[in-house]
């Protein structure tokens, strides 16, 4: 149920105010009691709070499968979702990376309004890349992943907090996927299967749903949403599997005045968690991802040591958070 604001209008018309107009001659009315229940369009997304959640992740250091910071951050994320009142737990799985490392996969799941039948799935990857293969120095050292990893999760934590504060009448599942970013670096080999070396957490989840017959009406992935002046393109897998969701989200963004970020431009197929959620779990899903068509690449700091808190802009977090909350509230009764 929504916040119910009840306005009681008590109208008392006082007669005899000294004029002689006909309306003044009407009898004193009995008080009129009116109850209005305004439909809340959406709560306010707090970008200071979202920024803080990005920073808290980055403060753990690089967070890739099997490292210590990764273990600590997993607990932090589950506890955070719990503290907001979601039903939160961690799905544990196993995987093998492109370089034959066995890893423990930790997908962190939070259910808001678990009983509701109508559900929306929101997701982001929370792990960070174990190397900086796009940098020119320290390429074998792991990156901080403030934008690539931290930003989507930060926005979704704030969305989770707002949901439990304002309680829209709809089910929402938030999943932080692990091991998205352990993919095979470009140029190592050209085999067709390298796309499956990315997104190990979402592949595991899609093959091992946390609930039997889990279904959501649609899914929205956030990936690299925190840099200054983001450019969110309409990505090809999103348009292939969930064109109506792309239209809905981009038109909401325009309504809210964010068409400078949510561009009316298409881009090619990007391997990302939504590909596997679409293809394996059959949940029509889109990717809100920063991609620069003019450069044919992601943000310039992508997979480099420059992907740190310096590039995170609260305005970007806010735009994405507002659009998400608006979209969720639009669906609620
Ligand atoms: C590839 O580069 C194949 N996919 C990009 C997915 C990604 C990596 N998103 C964040 N980091
Ligand atoms: Zn990445």
Residue-by-residue DSSP string for 229-274: S--EEEEHHHHHH-HHHHHHHHHHHHHTT-TTTEEEEEE----SHH
Question: What atom in ligand 1 is closest to the CA of residue 129?
Answer: 11
Shared-domain flag, residues 9 and 67: no
Distance from Cα 148 to the centre of ligand 1, integer Å: 9
Query: Which residues does 128 contact at the CB level (< 8 Å), separation at least 6?
Result: 62, 63, 64, 142, 143, 144, 145, 148, 149, 150, 181
Shared-domain flag, residues 10 and 155: no
How many angstroms from the chain centroid is the CA of residue 106? 18
Residue 317 and residue 226 in contact, taking contact as beta carbons nearer than 8 Å: yes
Gap between the Cα atoms of 116 and 278, Å rounded: 22
Q: What is the pTM of this model?
A: 0.88
Cβ neighbour number for residue 139 with a 10 Å cutoff: 14
> In this structure, which residue's CA is closest to atom 2 in ligand 1?
271
Q: What token pair was written down for 44? A: 């306010």
Gap between the Cα atoms of 167 and 280, Å rounded: 31
Query: Would 41 be classed as within a structural domain?
Result: no
Residues with CB under 5 A from ligand 2 (ion): 129, 148, 181
Shared-domain flag, residues 76 and 187: yes
Gap between the Cα atoms of 193 and 96, Å rounded: 14
Gap between the Cα atoms of 74 and 86, Å rounded: 16
Shared-domain flag, residues 10 and 57: no
Domain housing 9: 5-36
Question: What atom in ligand 1 is closest to the CA of residue 272?
Answer: 6
Pocket test for ligand 1, best of 270, 296, 302, 303 (most atoms within 8 A of CB): 270
pLDDT 10s digit of each residue in the chain, 333 long? 333 333 333 232 233 333 344 444 444 555 554 444 445 667 899 999 999 999 999 999 999 999 999 999 999 999 999 999 999 999 999 999 999 999 999 999 999 999 999 999 999 999 999 999 999 999 999 999 999 999 999 999 999 999 999 999 999 999 999 999 999 998 766 666 699 999 999 999 999 999 999 999 999 999 999 999 999 999 999 999 999 999 999 999 999 999 999 999 999 999 999 999 999 999 999 999 999 999 999 999 999 999 999 999 999 999 999 999 999 999 997
> In this structure, which residue's CA is closest to atom 10 in ligand 1?
148
Q: Which ligand is nearest to the CA of 152?
A: 1
Residue 110 and residue 85 in contact, taking contact as beta carbons nearer than 8 Å: no
Query: Would 42 be classed as within a structural domain?
Result: no
Residue 277 and residue 219 in contact, taking contact as beta carbons nearer than 8 Å: yes
Distance from Cα 183 to the centre of ligand 1, integer Å: 8
- CB under 6 Å to ligand 1: residues? 148, 181, 183, 198, 223, 270-272
Q: How many domains does the chain have?
A: 2
Distance from Cα 157 to the centre of ligand 1, integer Å: 22
Nearest in space to 261 (alpha carbons), one of 317, 326, 332: 317
Shared-domain flag, residues 11 and 92: no
CATH number at residue 298: 3.40.630.10
């Amino acid at each position: 149920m929504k916040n119910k604001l009840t306005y009681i209008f008590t109208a008392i018309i006082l007669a005899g105010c000294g004029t002689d107009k006909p309306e003044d001659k009407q009898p004193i009315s009995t008080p009129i009691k009116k109850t209005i229940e305004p439909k809340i369009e959406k709560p306010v997304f707090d970008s200071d709070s979202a920024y803080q959640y990005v920073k808290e992740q980055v403060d753990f250091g690089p967070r890739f499968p099997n490292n210590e910071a990764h273990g600590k951050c997993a607990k932090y994320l589950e506890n955070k979702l719990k503290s907001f009142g979601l039903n939160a737990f961690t799905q544990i799985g196993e995987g093998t990376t492109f370089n034959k490392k066995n890893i423990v996969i930790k997908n962190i799941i939070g259910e808001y309004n678990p009983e509701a039948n109508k559900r929306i799935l929101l997701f982001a990857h929370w792990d960070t890349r174990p190397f900086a293969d796009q940098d020119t120095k320290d390429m074998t050292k792991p990156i901080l992943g403030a934008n690539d990893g931290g930003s989507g999760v930060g926005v979704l934590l704030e969305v989770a907090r707002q949901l439990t504060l304002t309680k829209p009448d709809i089910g929402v599942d938030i999943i932080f996927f692990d091991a998205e970013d352990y993919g095979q670096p470009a140029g190592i080999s050209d085999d067709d299967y390298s796309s499956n070396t990315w997104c190990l957490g979402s592949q595991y989840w899609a093959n091992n749903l946390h609930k039997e017959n889990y279904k959501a009406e649609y899914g929205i992935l956030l990936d690299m949403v925190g840099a200054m002046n983001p450019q969110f393109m309409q990505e090809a897998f999103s348009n292939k599997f969930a064109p109506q969701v792309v239209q809905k989200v981009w038109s909401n963004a325009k309504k809210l005045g964010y068409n400078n970020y949510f561009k009316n431009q298409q881009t090619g197929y990007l391997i990302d968690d939504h590909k596997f959620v679409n293809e394996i779990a059959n949940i029509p899903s889109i990717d809100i991802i920063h991609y620069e068509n003019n450069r044919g690449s992601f943000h310039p700091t992508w997979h480099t040591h420059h992907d740190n808190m310096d590039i995170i802009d609260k305005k970007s977090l806010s735009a994405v958070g507002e659009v998400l909350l608006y979209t969720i509230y639009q669906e609620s009764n």
